[in-house]
Structure 1
């Protein structure tokens, strides 16, 4: 176990390093000059050059990378060119909407997908199962932003049940914040539920045909206990895997949804940083997202031990 953890931690560090190198150099290949974008079209060439020198952008790219590595080793991801604040502070100020949106979307997706996937597998080939598979395929094919626009029109504008955009006033309560997140959460959760439903159904189908399930039924155990206690527990590993990956995907995939619903989250922050060529902010945001992916995968592997004692590393 110790050897496995050591290997995984080393792999995680190497993965983050590869992402760091890739993001750093790709960001600087994009057209556009941060100094000119920051100063505006009326700035002189001398002013732009002076700003580039002050920000270190006039140095060769390899030298900039070594400087960035030195900052990173000190725990400093840099200072935003546009906001002129440490990038971690800028991201922390925008983290709440994205985190709440991700958690609500995942809760909606699991609530929809898990019971439907389990019951569909139990009633394999029936009308309910076929209808669930058809709806899942439709949900996977619909773009998130299109579903969001429909929700805005019918549930927000026409019926007035929920706010159509924004995140409330700065002093708004958490309940008001949650109300603003209902529609974007449904838009994201509906699409993600299709993936979880397909995996849940497939995993349960594999388990329900095993010999020990027939043995449990032959002993007179109730169908509810056979399905939920015996079958579901043994089918949980792929289900937990896809739920964990869905959490990471929702964090990184909320960019367009946040723009549609005008949410001041990390997704909107990344879009603005790309448009302004705010290199430190782009780097920090993508590194954090990559680190979340890696961390979620590691936690999923640890959860395997609690779900199935037969799993050995």
Structure 2
């Protein structure tokens, strides 16, 4: 188990090194002077020269890469051009809404998808199965921004249960801020539950007719114990995989939902950075998102070792 974890950590380090290299190269191969692109067409020659000196663009490319890579190892992603604060600080200030939105959306998706997928497989071909499959396909085809606007119109505008946008004022309590996340979390969770439902159903169908399930039934075990303890446990590997992929997709997919609901998260920060050509923020956000992807995959790999002894050995 320890050897497997070390191998995956080495793989994570290699992947992140490649991501850092690609992010570094993308900015340098952009047509024109990167400093001029960042500052826009109204920048003076003095402003461009000052920014080039500030970003170290006058140094040779290998020196730039070593400086950039060394800064990342120290947790220094550079300075935001427009916010005039370190990129790490800008990302940290926006991390809370995105983190809780992703966690709540994943919890809602799993809470909806897992029981529906298990019951759909158990009652294969029934009206429940057909309705669940149809709803999953429908949810998978709905754009998140459209569903978010529908929920906003019904629950915020007409019923008045929630605010249409925002994350509470500067003095808002934690409960008030979490209240603002209910609608966006439900929006993302319902859409994400479609994929988990389909994979859970398919994984359960693969194991429900296996010999060990029939043996468990022949021993007189209750159906609940047979389905949950034997079938579901052995179907967890593909289910964990799709849950991990969903968590990684939610991190990047929250950008649109945050924009619709006016949440001051990392997604809105990335959108504003793209519009302002704030490349240090864009680079830092790309590295953070890529790092979270790799971390989620590592956690899922470790869960494989706990769930399935065959993987461990």
Smaller-chain TM-score range? over 0.9
Q: How does 1:38-187 map to 2 (within 5 A)?
A: 43-59=43-59, 62-187=62-187
Q: Which moved more, 1:97-106 or 1:226-235?
A: 226-235
| Unmatched 5+ stretches in structure 1 | none
Shift of 1:31: 6.3
Residue number in structure 1 paired with 2:216: 216
1:290 aligns with 2:308: no
Shift of 1:187: 1.3
CA contact (8 A) 1:32 1:277 kept: no
Residue number in structure 1 paired with 2:200: 200
Shift of 1:178: 1.2
Q: Partners in 2 of 1:93 and 1:32 — Cα distance?
A: 32
Shift of 1:280: 2.0
Task: Give per-residue Cα distances to partners, 1:147-187, cap 9 Å, x unaligned.
Answer: 11111111111111111111110111111111111111111
CA contact (8 A) 1:164 1:183 kept: no
CA contact (8 A) 2:213 2:230 kept: yes
Q: Which moved more, 1:179-188 or 1:74-83?
A: 74-83
Task: Give per-residue Cα distances to partners, 1:182-223, cap 9 Å, x unaligned.
Answer: 111111111100010011111111110101111111222111
Q: Which moved more, 1:87-96 or 1:54-63?
A: 54-63
Q: Which moved more, 1:28-37 or 1:273-282?
A: 28-37
TM-score normalized with structure 1 length? 0.92
- RMSD between aligned alpha carbons? 2.1
Shift of 1:117: 0.4
Shift of 1:61: 5.0
Task: Give per-residue Cα distances to partners, 1:17-62, cap 9 Å, x unaligned.
Answer: 1111112222444568775677676553333333333333455655
Residue number in structure 1 paired with 2:258: 258
CA contact (8 A) 2:75 2:88 kept: no
- The change in CA–CA distance for 1:272 and 1:180 in structure 2 (over 3 A counts) is same
The number of residue pairs the alignment matches comes to 313
CA contact (8 A) 2:39 2:277 kept: no
Q: Partners in 2 of 1:104 and 1:32 — Cα distance?
A: 43
Q: Partners in 1 of 2:31 and 2:229 — Cα distance?
A: 57
Give the 3-state SS of the residue equivalent to 1:254 in structure 2.
helix
1:312 aligns with 2:304: no
Q: Partners in 1 of 2:33 and 2:184 — Cα distance?
A: 34
Q: Partners in 1 of 2:31 and 2:140 — Cα distance?
A: 34
CA contact (8 A) 1:28 1:279 kept: no
Q: Partners in 1 of 2:2 and 2:88 — Cα distance?
A: 32
Give the 3-state SS of the residue equivalent to 2:310 in structure 1.
coil
Q: Which moved more, 1:275-284 or 1:29-38?
A: 29-38
Task: Give per-residue Cα distances to partners, 1:254-288, cap 9 Å, x unaligned.
Answer: 11111111111011111122222222221221111
CA contact (8 A) 1:255 1:268 kept: yes
| Unmatched 5+ stretches in structure 2 | none
- The change in CA–CA distance for 1:27 and 1:157 in structure 2 (over 3 A counts) is farther
Give the 3-state SS of the residue equivalent to 2:164 in structure 1.
coil
Q: Partners in 2 of 1:100 and 1:33 — Cα distance?
A: 38
